[in-house]
Structure 1
Amino acid sequence: MKLITNIMTDFARFGALMVIILLTFVIAYLFEKIAKIKQGDNTRVLDVRKLAIIGVFSAIAFGLMLFEFPLPFAPSFYEFDFSDIPALIGGFAAGPLAAVMIEFIKVLMNLIFQGTNTAFVGEIANFVVGAAFVLPATIIYRFKKTRKTAFLGCLCGALCITVTGSLLNAYFLLPTFAAMWGSGIDTFIGMGAEINPAINNLLTFCLFAVAPFNLLKGVVDSIVTFLVYKKLSPILKHGFNKPAQNNNKKEA
């Protein structure tokens, strides 16, 4: 109850994040509709096959979320996992809305089966940061499915997750955790300084710990997706595209 009480005192920040989450779904839906209109596709944004694949990739993402490990250049409470990869693959195959839905369902499943020890703060942040990665990547790829746009999309996604993760930590996560646990932000900065002496304030903490962590996550997830999606692409295309459609451009 104490955690919930502390969170409610910071209602404005949580309200802003709720708006961001809602906007994420709206943006994904709008770009999917725009892409369909531009391509003369009158099918539904989400058909039965897409929903089935979303379910499968959400389950895979949830499974990968269970295998977390720290990185040597960041405090141990930052744990690396590969759960954004299924969302990116699903988004490449089914569009940006599918990617965002996979991110959301993954976090929801984790809450249901694992619970939360951060009073939903970590879970909300996980969704926002994950969506910041997969949404721009899948939007770019959705309009022109080539290896070049897949690369540009992943590059944009990696930059977005780096910036979003840093801002989210500086203005929401670290202040909220500090309030919840009754400690100052200096406690987290001290943990970072033990690993990297260059960390001495919030700015350097984000520059030398948070930003590299998220950038590495974006790059690694992108590389793995490129390797895996190329092999899965024929199966995913058969599941999501009309048989009559034939795209002569080389897809990722």
Structure 2
Amino acid sequence: MSAHTMISSKTSRVQWIAKVSILAAIAFVLMLFEIPLPFAPSFYKLGFDEVAVMLGGFALGPLAGAAIETLKVVLNVMFQGSDTAFVGELSNLLIGLSLVVPSALFYQRHKTLKGAMIALVIGVVSMALIGCLANYFIALPAYSYFYGLPMNVIIGMGSAILPLVQDKLTFVLLMTLPFNLVKGIVVALLTAVLYKRVSYLLHR
């Protein structure tokens, strides 16, 4: 390998790390601006941090998307701390990865407008499904334990909005699933609108 090639390779790695770090920082800042939704309990809030993650995943590949998502969660723990011994953050990490990794993997192999649309749909569906599993088995039990809230109190928050919510399963199906679908669709739409406008910066 020539000296020029080695320098070029090192420069590319440094640029990749810099881009990932900047996008992770942007995603972390966006996490601070979350809004509640009228059809979901108060602890479910819509954020736009995944838009930065998705832009990075589409422009730089699935590994970069996973790195941005992970670093974003690490930054959040460092600056905001954790009330659930990192269990809630682990759940959020899994949900974020389930959105960006399948999307970026598909788009990496089909870099067309149609491929991008299919990739976004795959990501939204994946996040919705993994989000249900993560909430059922990880997040809701963690919130119940660490916040001292009996599960029936959490379920009551859902049934106060929608009386059909009667247990943890219906809570996940009627509260968590719609929330994740709405969040995924919003993120997908913003990614579709913004990607072409910012991709040239990320590819420089």
Scaled by the length of structure 1, what TM-score is found? 0.74
State the superposition RMSD in angstroms. 1.5
Matched, 1:175 2:141: yes
- The C-alpha deviation readout for 1:96-119, integer Å capped at 9, x for no partner, is 000000001111111111112222
Specify the alignment match of 2:183 in structure 1. 217
- The C-alpha deviation readout for 1:135-175, integer Å capped at 9, x for no partner, is 10000001121111111111011001101111111112212
Task: Give aligned-pair identity as a percent.
Answer: 42
Specify the alignment match of 1:190 in structure 2. 156
The list of structure 1 runs, each at least 4 consecutive aligned residues, that deviate by more than 3 angstroms after superposition, is none
Taking the aligned partners of 1:200 and 1:139, their CA distance within structure 2 comes to 38
Q: Partner letter of residue 48 of structure 2? A: F
Specify the alignment match of 2:90 in structure 1. 124
| Cα deviation, residue 77, structure 1 | 0.9
- The C-alpha deviation readout for 1:39-89, integer Å capped at 9, x for no partner, is xxxx79x72221111011011000000111211111101121011111100
Q: Partner letter of residue 224 of structure 1? A: L
| Cα deviation, residue 177, structure 1 | 2.4
- Candidates 54, 70, 73, aligned match of 1:107: 73
Q: Partner letter of residue 49 of structure 1? A: Q
- Candidates 57, 61, 66, aligned match of 1:91: 57
Scaled by the length of structure 2, what TM-score is found? 0.90
Specify the alignment match of 2:45 in structure 1. 79
Q: Partner letter of residue 213 of structure 1? A: F
Tell me the number of residue pairs that the alignment of Structure 1 and Structure 2 aligns.
195
Q: Partner letter of residue 154 of structure 1? A: L
Q: How has the CA–CA distance of structure 1 residues 236 and 169 changed in structure 2, closer, same or farther, with 3 Å as cutoff?
A: same
* Bigger fraction of residues in helix: 2
Taking the aligned partners of 1:185 and 1:168, their CA distance within structure 2 comes to 16
Specify the alignment match of 1:63 in structure 2. 29
Taking the aligned partners of 2:148 and 2:25, their CA distance within structure 1 comes to 35
Structure 2's unaligned 5+ residue stretches are: 1-8
Taking the aligned partners of 1:97 and 1:225, their CA distance within structure 2 comes to 18
| Cα deviation, residue 182, structure 1 | 3.8
Taking the aligned partners of 1:98 and 1:81, their CA distance within structure 2 comes to 20
Q: Partner letter of residue 52 of structure 2? A: P
